[in-house]
Amino acid sequence: MSQQKPNEVVEKIVSLCKRKGFVFQSSEIYGGLNGCWDYGPLGVELLNNIKMEWWKFMTYREDVEGLDAAILMHPRVWEASGHVENFTDPMVDCKNCKSRFRLDHLSENINSKKKEKAIESLFAELTNEEKISLSNIESLSAEEKFEKILENKTFSSRLLKFVNCPNCGTLGSFTEARQFNLMFKTFIGPVEDQSAVVYLRPETAQGIFVNFLNVLNSSRQQLPFGIAQIGKAFRNEINTKNFLFRTREFEQMEMQYFVKPEEDKKWYDYWKEQRINWFKSLGMSKDKLRFHDHPKEKLAHYAKEATDIEYEFPFGWGEIEGIHNRTNFDLSRHEEYSGKSLKYLNEETKEKFIPYIIETSAGASRSFMAFLIDAYKEETVNDELRVVMRFHPKLAPIKAAVLPLVNRDGMPEIAKSIETELRNYFKVFYDDKGSIGRRYRRQDEAGTPYCITIDNETLNDKTVTIRYRDSMEQERIKIDDIPSRILRKIREGAS
Ligand code: GAP
C-alpha cells in the first residue's frame, strides 16, 4: 500500500465499499447526490458498531447521561449559538465556468509556482505603504504567504486577479468573496414564509445545551457530569470531498461535560486522553493518530482551548474529532436568548453559577472512514493477493461465517444449527458457495474475524475448525464451545 498514490488507495477503498456493500452513492440511479452517501448492509453494521462502542464507552459510566434530541429546533437556538451570524464560509465563484470554491481551501488546488507568480504580480502593483502593511508575512514561505493574503480582506480579491480558476484555467475570473451560511433551511408548517423558517441542525451539541436543566433535574446528577448524544447533522458544505470526509449529511457523536469553571483544565486534559485512547483501543494504528492543538489566534469564538484528534488519511492528516473547552459561552447565550436561568446551584455552598463545558465532538462518518482505511490491507499469500479488512472484532460487521465444506453428508444440517445458535449473539453469514479458499477470501474482504468450517471430522467427533482472519491459523474446537470462544475472542480483540 505504501507505494500507491493517495488517490489510488482511496479509489480502491471506494470500489471495495461498493462491491462489498459498505457504502453506495446516494440516489445513484439518478446520477447521485453530491455530498451524500448511503451505508449498505456491511456499512450499516460497521457504523452501528462504531456508534455502539462509543455509546458504551461514553455513557456506561455514572457521570454521563444519554440524550436524543430532535433534529429540528427552535430557530432562536441558532441565533443564540451564533450559527445564524457566524456559521459561514467565504466563497468565490468562477465567472467563466461557475465553479464555486471555499476561499480558504482555494490554495489546495493551486500549485506552488502559480502561487509564487500570483504573489509577485500582486506585489508589483502595490504601493510602498501597502507593502509595509504586509511586511508581517515577509519571512513566510510562498504557500503560507498565499494563504495569509487570501485571508486578508483588503488584498484577497486583488491577489485573485492573478490566479487561474483550478477548474477551467481562466485567469482572474473570480467574484468577490461572499459569506455563505452552511445551515440548510426549511419551513415548519404549511406556510413557507420567513416566520416558518427552521434549520436542519449543523451540530448535535445545541440539543444538549438546551436540555441541560431537564437532564440535570431528571437524573439528579451533580457537577461534573456529561450528556452524550449521537445523531445526524447537516451542513451545506461548498466543496464536499474525499469520499466520506466532508459530506453534507453526516453523523456526530458528541458529549458535553459540565464542570466547575476552576476545574476546566483538569477535565479538558482528561477527555483528551480518554478520546484518543478510545480510537487506539479499537485497533486504530497509533502512529496514524495525533493531536493538533489550535493556536490561540485560530480558536473558535466560543473556545478557550481546542484540539483536534487527527488521523493520517492517504490524502494527509485530517480531523476526526474536536475537543473544546467551550467555557460558559453556550449556556450564557441560551440564558440570554431564552430568558430562562441556566445556572447551577451548588447545594453545599449555595453558590449559583453557569458551568463550563468541555466538549468531545467526533464524526461517526469520519471515524467510519478512518477505521475503514486503517483496516484495509493488501497481502501476498501463496503468490496471490489477499485483500483483508482487519477490523477490530468489536467493529467487524459480521462476526462469524459458517461454512459447510460440502453440501451433503449431513454437513449443511449441522452448519445450519450452528448458524441458528450463533445468531443469538451476533451477526453471522452462511456461505456454501464455491471452494473453501474462495469463501475465506470473501470473508477476509468483509473483515469477518472468525470462519467456522464443518467438515468430515465434524460428523465423527462434533468438532469444527475455527479460522482466524488475521493469522489465517486454524484450530479445532467443540461445537458446544463455539459461542463462548468467539465471544471471548471478540472481547480480547483477537482475530
Ligand atoms: N459541536 C462542535 C462541532 O460540531 P466540528 O469540528 O464542526 O465541531 C465535529 O465538528 C466533528 O464532526 C468533526 O471532527 C468531524 O469528525 C465531523 N464533521 C464536521 N463536519 C463534517 C462534514 N461536513 N462531513 C463529515 N463529518 C464532519
Closest ligand 1 atom to Cα of 244 = 25
Instruction: Express each pLDDT in 421-452 by its tens digit.
Output: 999 999 999 999 999 999 999 999 999 999 99
Burial class (CB in 10 A: 0-12, 13-18, 19+), 316: exposed
Ligand 1 centre distance from Cα of residue 260 (Å)? 26
| Ligand 1 pocket, residue 246 CB under 6 Å | yes
| Ligand 1 pocket, residue 201 CB under 6 Å | no
Ligand 1 centre distance from Cα of residue 386 (Å)? 34
Local structure of 45: helix, strand or coil: helix
Ligand 1 centre distance from Cα of residue 494 (Å)? 31
pLDDT in the model for residue 297: 86
Closest ligand 1 atom to Cα of 361 = 9
Closest ligand 1 atom to Cα of 246 = 24
Closest ligand 1 atom to Cα of 247 = 24
Residues 6 or more apart whose Cβ sits within 8 Å of residue 333: 80, 81, 82
Q: Which three cell numbers stand for residue 470?
A: 488475521
Longest Cα–Cα distance in the chain? 93
pLDDT in the model for residue 169: 92
Ligand 1 centre distance from Cα of residue 318 (Å)? 11
pLDDT in the model for residue 3: 61
pLDDT in the model for residue 239: 83
How would you write 430-461 as a 3-class SS string? Answer: ECCCCCHHHHHHHHHHHCCCEEEEECHHHHHH
pLDDT in the model for residue 216: 97
Pocket test for ligand 1, best of 37, 88, 203, 326 (most atoms within 8 A of CB): 203
Q: What is the DSSP string of 100-141?
A: EEEGGGGGGGS-HHHHHHHHHHHHHH--HHHHHHTGGGTTS-
| Ligand 1 pocket, residue 449 CB under 6 Å | no
Ligand 1 centre distance from Cα of residue 369 (Å)? 13
| Ligand 1 pocket, residue 320 CB under 6 Å | yes
- Please list the ranges in the chain whose pLDDT falls under 50: 1-2
pLDDT in the model for residue 241: 81
The answer to whether residues 199 and 78 touch, using CB atoms and an 8 Å cutoff, is yes
| Ligand 1 pocket, residue 451 CB under 6 Å | no
Ligand 1 centre distance from Cα of residue 27 (Å)? 23
Instruction: Name the residue with the closest Cα to ligand 1, atom 6.
Output: 322
The answer to whether residues 344 and 243 touch, using CB atoms and an 8 Å cutoff, is no
Rounded Cα–Cα distance for residues 375 and 228 (Å): 27
Pocket test for ligand 1, best of 252, 290, 320 (most atoms within 8 A of CB): 252
Q: Starting at the edge strand that comes first in sequence, how are the strands of the sheet with 100-102 ordered?
A: 100-102, 88-93, 178-181
Rounded Cα–Cα distance for residues 261 and 452 (Å): 55
Rounded Cα–Cα distance for residues 466 and 441 (Å): 15
Instruction: Name the residue with the closest Cα to ligand 1, atom 19.
Output: 363
Q: Which residues pair with 234 in a beta bridge?
A: 249
Instruction: Name the residue with the closest Cα to ligand 1, atom 5.
Output: 322
Ligand 1 centre distance from Cα of residue 22 (Å)? 21
Pocket test for ligand 1, best of 247, 361, 365 (most atoms within 8 A of CB): 361
| Ligand 1 pocket, residue 203 CB under 6 Å | yes
Rounded Cα–Cα distance for residues 232 and 253 (Å): 9
| Ligand 1 pocket, residue 322 CB under 6 Å | yes
Q: Which three cell numbers stand for residue 25?
A: 452513492
Instruction: Name the residue with the closest Cα to ligand 1, atom 12.
Output: 363
Instruction: Express each pLDDT in 340-376 by its tens digit.
Output: 999 999 999 999 999 999 999 999 999 999 999 999 9
This prediction's pTM: 0.91
